[in-house]
Amino acid sequence: MLLVRRVVQRTNPNRSFSASHTRLSHRKGLVLGVFEKEGEEAGLHLTEAATGFDQKVSGKLSELLTISGPALKKGSSRIFYGVHTDFPCVAVVGLGKSNAGVCGAENWDIGKENIRAAVSAGCRSLQDLEVNHVEVDGCGDAQSAAEGAALGLFHYDQLKSKKKNKVTTQLHGSADSVGWEKGVLYAEGQNLARLLMEGPANHITPTVFASIIEENLAGHAGRVTIKKRSQDWIEEQQMGAFLSVSKGSEEPPVFLEIHYNGAPESTEAPLLLVGKGITFDTGGISLKPSASMDEMRADMGGAATVCSSIVTAAALKLPVNIIGLAPLCENMPSGKATKPGDVVTAKNGKTIQVDNTDAEGRLVLADALCYGHTFNPRAVVNVATLTGAMDVALGSAATGVFTNSDWLWEQLQKASVVTGDRVWRMPLFQHYTRQVTDCQLADVNNVGKYSRSGGACTAAAFLREFVTAPHWAHLDIAGVMSNKDEVPYLRKGMSGRPTRTLVEFAAGLAHHG
């Protein structure tokens, strides 16, 4: 007898099927997609892979979909048992309209997002049944399907005694295997960033962070050079702004420098990526409230996404040269910590009045940006969980981008439409610059004189004081740092955004210049 059960995304499986769980635990599962029929005609339209499977089972799948209830909605899944001997359970997922594409109003490809969400729902429902191997329908876009599967199954349980059931996935049938493998690598890059961001600060110190990245790049020794700079080197470079943040902590700072030479014969200048690497942020002497301070273990999200994107670029063998910089340290209060009102000197000689020690990310980035300019990069992109004001402005819908280059904005925006991990352009007016340069004791102040107004914009204006490159963009990712339920194919927790957008951006530069 055939069993059918409807599963809505994120709904736990009915425990009355526990006997089935035992029987299924070492068998295969299958995820197949169905589109909503277009026009006035109601019903479902099976994908190519689902149609082929239905033919193998003499139309049983179509029959079950017809009798099991209302038409399958976008993003939901329904599980059938006993349809085929090779697959004891089959999850059929709703993909929405088959003609969905790029939507100008939403600034993403709806079809790709639907596939990611639906495949994620199907894979999770099978994971809940403790199925440990799942074949996935490419759904007409194997890369998006792979991203949905790998991102949806990620769960941070490294420090728990009871682990989530691990699931291996592969593409079902002979569809676009190249696209599938690409999607897996894109998702694994974002999952590495999530792993780093989610890890407790006593486990992911600056030294440990650098070592993890080094381990992940170990297989690319011919193309990658890694330099883990010590405090002595940082002092030699006269990075007074960076040192002013790190000196309150017992953990030594690390300046991580990565060179990926994907196009060694190229004479073109490298792409420079710079990530804020505060592995824990108490706020320093300007101490944060205790509520939600634990989330500041992810204040190195900029460094995590930048370094993970370079790991992915290396795995993809992208024909582009990239330099990654990650100033890594903790921001702690102590007798050695910087005090509000102190004045420090950045690498380029500019003096900075530090009126708020919780505005520390811009200080470590200032020195990293000054150093990065010595490589004469073709473009500079820095990424940081910089301001709560960014979260207030855009929430988790998109990463805020401040840039002096229309060309660079176009490249980033184009990449984000493909990945679904959106960006949105913010202003870099002189209005904001005047608020950080009107400073009582130094050349610039690390907070605007109207500290509660336009905080994300004044932070960007501060960074601009340490930039001379004609193509520079600052990505403020504070609003997209974590996920509750906004992105359906990511579980609750640290998001690793916008790693895939950075990879797609780098790939665009590699292939199109």
Query: With bands split at pLDDT 50, 70 and 90, how would you rate the model's confidence at 411?
Result: very high
Query: With bands split at pLDDT 50, 70 and 90, how would you rate the model's confidence at 39?
Result: low
pLDDT in tens, 98-119: 889 999 999 999 999 999 999 9
pLDDT in tens, 128-186: 999 999 999 999 999 999 999 999 999 999 999 998 889 999 999 878 999 999 999 99
Residue 378: both structure tokens together: 């073709």
Average pLDDT on 242-256 reads: 98
pLDDT in tens, 261-270: 999 988 899 9
Query: With bands split at pLDDT 50, 70 and 90, how would you rate the model's confidence at 513?
Result: low
CB of 136 closer than 8 Å to CB of 10: no
Active site residues: 288, 362
**Residue that wins the pLDDT comparison between 67 and 257:** 257
**Residue that wins the pLDDT comparison between 71 and 274:** 274
User: Is the whole model's pTM more than 0.85, yes or no?
Assistant: yes
Q: Tell me the H-state helices in 276-405.
A: 301-316, 361-372, 388-394
For the ranges 18-22, 355-359, 483-487, which has the lowest average pLDDT? 18-22
* Burial class for 130, CB neighbours closer than 10 Å (0-12, 13-18, 19+): buried
- Confidence (pLDDT) at 26: 54
**Residue that wins the pLDDT comparison between 273 and 27:** 273
Domains in the chain and their CATH numbers? Answer: 3-175 (3.40.220.10), 223-338+358-429+456-512 (3.40.630.10)
Tell me how far CA of residue 331 lies from CA of 25, 198, 280, 283, 346, in angstroms: 46, 18, 6, 6, 17
- Confidence (pLDDT) at 42: 61
Assess whether pLDDT exceeds 60 at residue 307.
yes
Alpha carbons 458 and 449: distance in angstroms, whole number:
9
Q: What value does the CA radius of gyration of the chain take, rounded to a whole number of Å?
A: 24
In this structure, the number of other CB atoms found within 10 A of the CB of residue 290 comes to 8
CB of 186 closer than 8 Å to CB of 147: yes
Integer distance in angstroms from the first to the last C-alpha of the chain?
A: 58
In this structure, the number of other CB atoms found within 10 A of the CB of residue 450 comes to 11
In this structure, the number of other CB atoms found within 10 A of the CB of residue 100 comes to 18
